[in-house]
Amino acid sequence: MSWHVLGAGSLGSLWATRLFRAGVPVQLVLRNPQRLAAYLQAGGLTLVEQGQSERYAIAASDLSDPAPIARLLLACKAYDAVEAIAAVAHRLAPEAEVILLQNGLGSQDEVAQQLPGRRCLPASSTEGAFRDGDWRVVFAGQGHTWIGDPIDVTPPTWLSDLQRGQIPHTWSPDILGRLWRKLALNCAINPLTVLHSCRNGELVRHSDEVEALCAELVALLIGSGQAEAARDLRHEVWRVIEATAANYSSMYQDVASARRTEISYLLGYACAAAEQAALQLPHLQAVHQRLLAHLDRHGLPRH
């Protein structure tokens, strides 16, 4: 059974190339005939790994292709997920499974609502990749991917494909807890790096703000029924800041490159969840407002 990978961006390409070179059937679903023509012209997807680049001529089609899809890796940004899935929903076989690579929270529910009866499996990844050109992906950081299903804890049979492709992964019976934990880490670090225009490690100079956010995020996780994800959050935030001290956060990089951020699915989601749980989290809300104002000043979308 073939994998369809929608979105030949950084993570989508990283998955598609590793599956393809391991002999797992895979094909790309590209945005439109123009993107498909450009891809065919390039002759495939190039993976750059440890300084070596290799091109893989993976089959591709565009969204208008009518062929049915049984297994879909949705590899676009969170803010594109609903529109992208709407474009292929009619092609999904009744027993189709959809793996969701989006960061943050919120998009997974939006997608699942459009696909009643289909199995939707959110993933959370610490792998790092970026594009250094069209149809080229650089594997920048080894990492791990957790995959789960909030409704059914039975592992899917296709995990063996990931094994074959040497995609490090773990089946997670508590994928929502993982996504919440990652969201909390992101909310404690990324917005402050944008507001202070600094690397992660420089947040030690703003430790009062980090501490205040950690305390509120713990309250938010507990108030949202995610007590496990709240455990030792503060320690992990400081551990991540130390371990990634020289890095610029993904949100910092998005703003610096004038790219749309995933704010609605990160800090925006956290603030909405706080309101829903009737929690007053003034620091979180203030950072959200400051970040929105910052995006306004840079002419970037607020959502």
Query: Distance (Å, rounded) from C-alpha 25 to C-alpha 23?
Result: 6
Applying CB under 6 A, the site for ligand NAP has a residue count of: 28
Helix 175-195, helix 267-276: angle, nearest 10: 120
Nearer to ligand NAP, 91 or 283 (CB): 91
- The helix/strand/coil state of 165 is coil
For residues 71 and 167, the answer to whether their CB atoms sit within 8 Å is: no
CB of 79 to ligand NAP, least distance (A): 9
The shares of helix, strand and coil residues in the chain, as percent rounded to the nearest 5, are 50, 20, 30
Which single residue is written with the structure tokens 């309250």?
219
Tell me which of 4, 118, 182, 288 is the catalytic residue: 182
Quote the CA–CA distance of 31 and 53 in Å, as a whole number. Answer: 25
Contact string 24-43 vs ligand NAP (x = CB under 6 A)? ------xx---x--------
For residue 114, give the H/E element and its range: helix 107-114
DSSP 106: S
The smaller minimum CB distance to ligand NAP, of residues 143 and 225, is found at: 143
Span near ligand NAP by CB under 6 A; candidates 1-9, 185-193, 225-233, 290-298:
1-9
Choosing from 3, 4, 5, 10, the residue that interacts with ligand NAP (CB under 6 A) is 10
From 45-53, 90-98, 126-134, 237-245, span contacting ligand NAP (CB under 6 A): 126-134
Task: Using CB under 6 A, list all residues that contact ligand NAP.
Answer: 6-12, 30-31, 35, 63, 75-78, 80, 83-84, 87, 101-103, 125, 127-129, 131, 262
